């Protein structure tokens, strides 16, 4: 949090509401204590591949997760990070119809004034990412990350959702397919005797 304040920057916490109150994830009560520098966004209800669902199921994922977040936090939620980057024109259209004005996907590219609000790219910053690499990301130097993203898309199409998830966990060294989580809630946002919780899914600077 001190770094965000130093540079007058904001960050968005994308939360999969179905994971709330699970060990290692945000508690429902944490959503009311997020510092002002942390914006709140939806990451779906169950973290499923939205582009493989029916229109009704997509709406349920986006609408229900948004309602839960708004009810628990008291904030307006109009930002969504698409789980697994599983986006297509249909998902984009439904997200816009459901009232989302900012849509983040998993393509690696520079976001500029010409980037549409429904096509915001992102890169993965994990707990083991070196500080120098983070600085390169901030300067728009992505290295092989776009190629890596392209490579991940090939087995996704070949293996199908379930086999792809298992393969991806092995290839990235993740445990049970669960992403590493970055702790962005400062100790000042907790009350005495409570531990600092971690972000639900993905934390993105913008």
Would 72 be classed as within a structural domain?
Answer: yes
pLDDT of residue 115: 77
Query: Residue 50: which CATH number?
Result: 3.20.20.370
Would 95 be classed as within a structural domain?
Answer: yes
Q: How many CB atoms lie within 10 A of CB 183?
A: 11
Would 138 be classed as within a structural domain?
Answer: no
Would 125 be classed as within a structural domain?
Answer: yes
Where in the sequence is the domain holding 80, given as residue range(s)? Answer: 2-130+179-205
DSSP per-residue codes, 170-192: HHHT-BTTBPP------GGGS-T
Of 47-51, 70-74, 116-120, 176-180, where does mean pLDDT reach its minimum?
176-180
pLDDT of residue 80: 96
Would 174 be classed as within a structural domain?
Answer: no
């Amino acid at each position: 949090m001190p770094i965000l304040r130093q540079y007058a920057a904001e960050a968005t916490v994308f939360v999969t509401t179905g994971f709330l109150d699970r060990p290692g994830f945000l508690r429902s009560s944490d959503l009311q204590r997020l510092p002002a520098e942390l914006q709140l966004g939806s990451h779906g209800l169950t973290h499923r591949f939205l582009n493989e669902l029916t229109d009704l199921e997509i709406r349920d994922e986006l609408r229900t997760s948004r309602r839960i977040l708004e009810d628990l936090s008291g904030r307006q939620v109009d930002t969504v990070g698409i789980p697994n980057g599983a986006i297509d024109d249909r998902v984009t259209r439904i997200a816009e119809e459901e009232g989302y004005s900012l849509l983040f996907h998993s393509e690696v590219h520079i976001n500029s004034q010409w980037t549409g609000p429904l096509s915001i790219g992102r890169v993965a910053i994990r707990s083991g990412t070196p500080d120098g690499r983070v600085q390169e990301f901030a300067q728009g130097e992505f290295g092989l990350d776009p190629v890596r993203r392209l490579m991940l898309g090939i087995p996704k199409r070949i293996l199908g959702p379930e086999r792809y998830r298992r393969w991806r966990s092995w290839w990235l060294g993740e445990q049970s397919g669960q992403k590493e989580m970055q702790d962005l809630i400062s100790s000042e946002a907790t009350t005495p005797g409570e531990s600092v919780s971690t972000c639900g899914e993905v934390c993105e600077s913008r």
